[in-house]
Amino acid sequence: MAGCTHREESTAIDRLQPCKSSDGPTDAYCGKLKVWENRQTKAGRQIDLNIVLLPALANESRPDPVFFLAGGPGQGAASHAKALKDTFRRVHHNRDLVLVDQRGTGKSNKLDCKYEPESLKDLDQSIEATNARLRGCLEKYEADTKLYTTTIAMDDLDDVRAHLGYSKINLYGGSYGTRAALVYLQRHQANARTVVLDGVAPQDMRLPLFMARDGQRALDRLSADCDADPACAAPYKGTSQRLQRLIARLKQAPVKATLTHPRTGAREQVDVTADALAGIVFFALYSPQVSALLPMVIEQAERNDFQSLLALGFIGEAAGDTIAAGMHFSVLCSEDAPRIKEPEIPAALTNSFLTRTILDSKIKPCQFWPRGEVAESYYEPVVSDVPTLILSGDLDPVTPPSWGDQVARHLKNSKHLIASGTGHGAIARGCIVKIMQQFSEDGSVSKLDAGCLKDMRRAPFFVTPAGPDPRNGAQSK
């Protein structure tokens, strides 16, 4: 879009303005598109959808942009603009990159419910306290929260496509964004040129039911890899079993510990519970770089030294702040929770380190959260011949490769690539962006060269606070 010829042919920039620094990168274009909150009645409240467009860098750019669909559910896409300029640079070279804050996120009538505990004692909130906070937020929203589901949002997205003057678009969805991309295919397949699904979370996933199973799989893989690495196995062999025993002990009796708040530096005495410990470990497994610390910090926790483990819980604090909790529950309580039966929950927790409280924190709010209408056809497998690249991290604790396999069976023109040594989100790993660039250029999966994936390895384990064993050059697969 940088070339004069392309600008004359496209209406996208004509509909937007140069971004202010508070809205996005100053070399990007920003704007709004007003849509009806209730798309069916076309009456009442309207929503300004926030749009950020990064113009293609090449003078001769392609007419079909990449639309980025964020995760969560609840993340706003536009906030990723600066980071994506680097991550997507190969694809962005000759294609516009478009980021739209999905309704209820970012600057598109964000359904926020921020929780900023200053005390460590507040980190392990009870379900009752969390629900009370969510009820308070729900009462204050200027929104009909039943109308913030994925189906409605993807109809919004197609309006943005038409508004910007694009005939066909390429979709990249990460995590929950893969569900959004699949729903777009369901409803607007004719307008999609290609799709990339990174960490597949399909419509029938029934979040959070399988988090326990998939999280335990990731922990078992980590434990087995540590056991196969002599430097890690010597002090930390059997990490999975050690964590199970530790959590069982904390369920019997939480441990009182004096800990330093990683952000404020305040020293506090807190009760370390099984729920808090399991939650920190689960989210640490998202990143192999972070989970490389787990064998060491779990061994420390066995000795009632929880300081390092607590620090891991703050690594993803900034990312968590970007989640719009109201939109998150509007999706989960409309699309997932109604399909979970109570007897399935204890069965799902069998042999997993995750606790009932972690699953209940996603399910219990749905007892009072307004539930949007979702057609039964929404849950049917998406059948399409649109070229689709499916990416899975082999170590992913929440969207492992089995979910990618499931959707690939119905996408006739798809290829599923599994990245070794990779957790949740493969796009920033090694040669993945190069593969995506080839896919974007060819518009086909038939000739993709994915040989570079075999060289990917798990990040080396920390065997001391100073880092990995410097003599151990080979990393675990």
CATH architecture of 4-126+143-206+376-455: 3-Layer(aba) Sandwich (3.40)
Q: How many CB atoms lie within 10 A of CB 7?
A: 15
* Angstrom distance (rounded) from CA 293 to CA 365: 33
**Which has the closest alpha carbon to 392: 134, 259, 139, 217?**
217
Q: Residue 61: its pLDDT value, please?
A: 87
Domain boundaries, the chain: 4-126+143-206+376-455
pLDDT tens per residue, the chain (477 residues)? 444 444 455 568 889 999 998 888 989 999 999 999 999 999 999 999 999 999 998 888 899 999 999 999 999 999 999 989 889 989 999 999 999 999 999 999 999 998 877 778 776 778 999 999 999 999 999 999 999 999 999 999 999 999 999 999 999 999 999 999 999 999 999 999 999 999 999 999 999 999 999 999 999 999 999 999 999 999 999 999 999 999 999 999 999 999 998 888 889 999 999 999 999 999 999 999 999 999 999 999 999 999 999 999 888 655 556 899 999 999 999 999 999 999 999 999 999 999 999 999 999 999 999 999 999 999 999 999 999 999 999 999 999 999 999 999 999 999 999 999 999 999 988 899 999 999 999 999 999 999 888 888 999 999 998 888 776 644 444
Q: Residue 394: its pLDDT value, please?
A: 96
Lookup: tokens for 118? 């200053």
Q: Residue 273: its pLDDT value, please?
A: 94
Phi-psi region of 341 (alpha: psi -120 to 50; beta: other; left: phi over 0): beta
- Largest Cα–Cα distance in the chain? 70
Q: Residue 477: its pLDDT value, please?
A: 44
Lookup: tokens for 226? 């540590």
Q: What are the CA-CA distances from residue 368 to residues 125, 264, 334 (Å)?
A: 18, 35, 12
What end-to-end distance do the CA atoms of the chain give, in Å? 41
Judged by DSSP in three states, 17 sits in strand
Q: What is the DSSP string of 48-99?
A: EEEEEEE--SSSS--SSPEEEE--TTT--SGGGHHHHHHHTHHHHTSS-EEE
Judged by DSSP in three states, 258 sits in strand
Q: Residue 448: its pLDDT value, please?
A: 94
* Angstrom distance (rounded) from CA 380 to CA 377: 5
Q: Residue 469: its pLDDT value, please?
A: 77
Q: Residue 120: its pLDDT value, please?
A: 80
